[in-house]
């Protein structure tokens, strides 16, 4: 039985969009909204694009930019309906919905694919592996990334491209500077074996929860904290339920856009090419936006009056990194010795 469409979207929990003016610097795309435009009246082809974060996040705006490009280039023949913020499917059921044909496009976090039978993708969850987005892109945009996208076919998915997310920070109701600070805390994570092991290595108790339930769980003290990129922290309004944000940059959160081979193979060659080109441009747009909004988000959180923001010193970050090294050792065999070595070579390379 297919997953049910969720009528109980957490609209009541919506906060203001992230950095309302932040899109202007990328070419005046203020017209990108989720409302159905006039051209969408009678499409020949309909694609449902579901994701779990807010429309104002870089991923949300990437999806809307893709919607706009497809509409323009197909003259309305192809319609993309975007469902943000778990309106249609959530973390726990979106991949199953794709396999059942209930949705045509997803952009899950890379963490999801490990639980879907593709442990190679768990390499992206290893803590303190990447220092910056340039290192990430040498992996995702090179031979390793191409092979990983091809591997998605083993789980009935078509990998269409990677999108940058950002680096995650830790939030709680106290600073998290040392492993001792993590002791006794219940911290929300995605359903990822690596992330569960990461929190345990740091001294916390991991709690796996869907993204859409995180804010409510924090408000009710079901969990004490979470890890998030700054854009997700702000768009979910977590500053209302957390007093402290520690800038750990301990892990990377990225995404891959996927479809189902049954749908993708059914497309005519011209339609497939149109969608591929539009998506490539949308992903490039999303990557530029992600980097810019991350800088703006940092400036914004530093100005929040009731949020205490803590920057780690070099020695403090080194202690956390050392505590997390056991995770690398524990998952090297599962991820693959050869893959991890190749990822590290790509990280160390220079353009």
The full DSSP string for 45-104 is: EEEEEE-SS-TTSHHHHHHHHHHHHHHHHTTTSEEEEEE-TTSS--TTTHHHHHHTTS-S
What is the model's pLDDT at position 66?
Answer: 99
Give the closest residue to 100 by CA, choosing from 154, 157, 43, 52. 157
pLDDT over threshold 70, residue 20: no
With bands split at pLDDT 50, 70 and 90, how would you rate the model's confidence at 142? very high
What is the model's pLDDT at position 350?
Answer: 75
pLDDT over threshold 80, residue 307: yes
In eight-state DSSP terms, residue 109 is: B
pLDDT over threshold 70, residue 158: yes
Give the mean pLDDT of 209-214.
94
**Model's pTM, two decimal places?**
0.86
What is the model's pLDDT at position 43?
Answer: 83
What is the model's pLDDT at position 78?
Answer: 98
Among the four given CATH numbers 3.40.50.2020, 3.40.190.170, 3.40.35.10, 3.30.70.2740, the one describing domain 34-348: 3.40.190.170
- Per-residue pLDDT tens digits for 77-119: 999 999 999 999 998 899 999 999 999 999 999 999 999 999 9
What is the model's pLDDT at position 91?
Answer: 87
294-300: long-range pairs with CB below 8 Å, 24+: 294/166, 294/167, 294/229, 294/230, 294/231, 296/19, 296/22, 297/18, 297/19, 297/229, 297/230, 297/231, 297/233, 297/234, 298/230, 298/247, 300/19, 300/230, 300/234
Give the mean pLDDT of 235-242.
96
């Amino acid at each position: 039985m297919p997953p049910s469409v969720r009528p109980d979207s957490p609209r009541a929990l919506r906060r203001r969009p992230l950095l309302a003016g932040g899109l202007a610097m990328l070419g005046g795309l203020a017209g990108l909204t989720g409302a159905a435009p006039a051209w969408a009246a009678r499409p020949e082809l309909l694609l449902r694009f579901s994701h779990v974060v807010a429309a104002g996040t870089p991923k949300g705006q990437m999806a809307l930019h893709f919607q706009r490009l497809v509409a323009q280039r197909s003259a309305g023949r192809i319609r993309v309906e975007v469902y943000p913020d778990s309106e249609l499917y959530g973390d726990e059921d979106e991949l199953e919905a794709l396999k059942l044909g209930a949705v045509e496009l997803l952009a899950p976090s890379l963490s999801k694919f490990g639980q879907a039978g593709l442990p190679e993708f768990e390499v992206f969850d290893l803590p303190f592996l990447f220092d910056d987005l340039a290192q990430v892109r040498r992996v995702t945009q090179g031979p390793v990334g191409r092979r990983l996208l091809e591997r998605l076919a083993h789980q009935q998915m078509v990998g269409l491209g990677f999108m940058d997310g950002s680096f995650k920070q830790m939030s709680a109701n106290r600073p998290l500077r040392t492993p001792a600070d993590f002791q006794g805390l219940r911290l929300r994570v995605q359903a990822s074996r690596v992330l569960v092991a990461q929190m345990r290595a740091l001294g916390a108790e991991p709690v796996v929860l869907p993204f859409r339930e995180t804010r409510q769980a924090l408000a009710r003290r079901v969990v004490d904290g979470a890890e998030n990129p700054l854009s997700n922290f702000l768009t979910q309004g977590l500053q209302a339920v957390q007093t402290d944000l520690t800038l750990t940059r301990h892990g990377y959160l990225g995404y891959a856009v996927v479809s189902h081979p049954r749908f993708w193979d059914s497309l005519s060659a011209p339609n497939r090419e149109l969608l591929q080109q539009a998506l490539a441009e949308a992903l490039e747009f999303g990557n530029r936006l992600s980097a810019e909004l991350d800088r703006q988000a940092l400036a914004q959180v530093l100005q929040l009056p009731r949020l205490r923001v803590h920057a780690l010193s070099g020695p403090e970050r080194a202690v956390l990194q050392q505590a997390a090294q056991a995770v690398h050792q524990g998952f090297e065999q599962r991820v693959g010795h050869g893959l991890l070595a190749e990822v590290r070579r790509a990280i160390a390379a220079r353009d």
